[in-house]
């Protein structure tokens, strides 16, 4: 049993004219919980769509998505979020607070409360993401790279088993890309599975990842 399984997925962009807009036809994919996997493919080929099918935000027209052997549609969104973290291409849209502490504690403030364990996790996350210097700066004023790291931080606070990143190198300069590489490796070495979506070949080549190519119709090749 794989961590995530996609079985016989059909997906149409336009639900009315199905013939014309078949994005995926009989797409099959199995991802283990502890692997580092990268999906590459041309712009518009469906990488983002595929990742949103995995977290259940989009629903396949045929076939099913299984998370730990249970249909993704049987999960509540918050349950999925506790297992899989998702970094959107634009980190700004997933930040809701003024300061880093509030942002990372957000789910606990509104949920089970802030325990000693959570506080400890916060310290680790801040250290792992090298955000120590940024903690007193309003999030609004942080750089693009820092905002992205805060967004990754909010994901890590949930202690997920797996993390999906949609084109995280877009809009970053070389230095920030190098920082991101270090962070991804740290995450992976903690035993968290990673699904990276990217068309930045150089970045992908520098990582210890299995690379899958998504091509037309949802065909996946190694």
Ligand X SMILES: Nc1ncnc2c1ncn2[C@@H]1O[C@H](COP(=O)(O)OP(=O)(O)O)[C@@H](O)[C@H]1O
Burial letters for 153-176: b for 16+ Cβ neighbours within 10 Å, e otherwise? bbbbbbebbbbbbbbbbeebeeeb
- Work out what residue 43 binds among ligand X, Mg ion, other proteins, none; the CB cut-off runs from 5 to 8 Å by kind: ligand X
Least distance (Å) from ligand X to the CB of residue 46? 4
Nearest by Cα to 90 from 197, 179, 163, 166: 166
**Does 101 participate in binding other proteins (rule CB under 8 A)?**
no
Residues 15-74 that bind other proteins (CB under 8 A): 55, 57
Beta-sheet pairing, 84-87 with 162-166: parallel
Contact characters 142-181, other proteins, x per CB under 8 A: ------------x---x-----------------------
CA separation for the pair 128, 122 (Å, rounded): 10
**Does 44 participate in binding ligand X (rule CB under 6 A)?**
yes
- Work out what residue 100 binds among other proteins, Mg ion, ligand X, none; the CB cut-off runs from 5 to 8 Å by kind: none
Residues in the chain: 222
Task: Identify the DSSP state of 94.
Answer: G
- Work out what residue 77 binds among ligand X, other proteins, Mg ion, none; the CB cut-off runs from 5 to 8 Å by kind: other proteins
Q: Are 58 and 28 in contact (CB under 8 A)?
A: no
**Does 76 participate in binding other proteins (rule CB under 8 A)?**
yes
Q: Judged by CB under 8 A, which of 18, 119, 120, 140 binds other proteins?
A: 140
Q: Which is nearer to Mg ion, 48 or 64 (CB)?
A: 48
Phi and psi at 172, nearest 5°, equal: -105, 145
**Does 111 participate in binding other proteins (rule CB under 8 A)?**
yes
**Does 137 participate in binding ligand X (rule CB under 6 A)?**
no
In DSSP terms, 39 is beta-bridged to 197, 212
Least distance (Å) from other proteins to the CB of residue 80? 7
**Does 48 participate in binding ligand X (rule CB under 6 A)?**
yes
Query: What residues line the site for ligand X (CB under 6 A)?
Result: 13, 23, 41, 43-49
Query: What residues line the site for other proteins (CB under 8 A)?
Result: 55, 57, 76-82, 84-86, 88, 90, 92-97, 106-107, 110-111, 140, 154, 158
């Amino acid at each position: 049993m794989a961590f995530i399984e996609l079985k016989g997925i059909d997906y149409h962009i336009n639900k009315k004219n199905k013939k014309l807009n078949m994005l995926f036809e009989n797409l099959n994919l199995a991802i283990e919980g502890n692997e580092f996997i990268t999906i590459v493919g041309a712009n518009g080929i469906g990488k983002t769509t595929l990742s949103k099918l995995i977290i259940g935000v989009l629903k396949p027209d045929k076939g099913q998505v299984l998370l730990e052997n249970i249909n993704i549609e049987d999960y509540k969104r918050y349950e999925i979020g506790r297992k899989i973290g998702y970094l959107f291409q634009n980190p700004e849209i997933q930040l809701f607070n003024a300061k880093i502490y509030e942002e990372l504690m957000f789910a606990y403030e509104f949920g089970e409360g802030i325990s000693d364990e959570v506080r400890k996790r916060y310290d680790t996350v801040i250290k792992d993401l090298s955000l120590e210097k940024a903690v007193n700066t309003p999030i609004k004023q942080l750089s693009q790279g820092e905002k992205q790291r805060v967004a990754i931080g909010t994901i890590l606070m949930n202690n997920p088993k797996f993390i999906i990143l949609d084109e995280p190198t877009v809009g970053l300069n070389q230095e920030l890309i190098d920082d991101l590489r270090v962070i991804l490796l740290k995450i992976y070495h903690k035993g968290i599975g990673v699904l990276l979506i990217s068309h930045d070949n150089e970045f992908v080549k520098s990582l210890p990842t299995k690379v899958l190519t998504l091509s037309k119709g949802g065909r996946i090749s190694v």
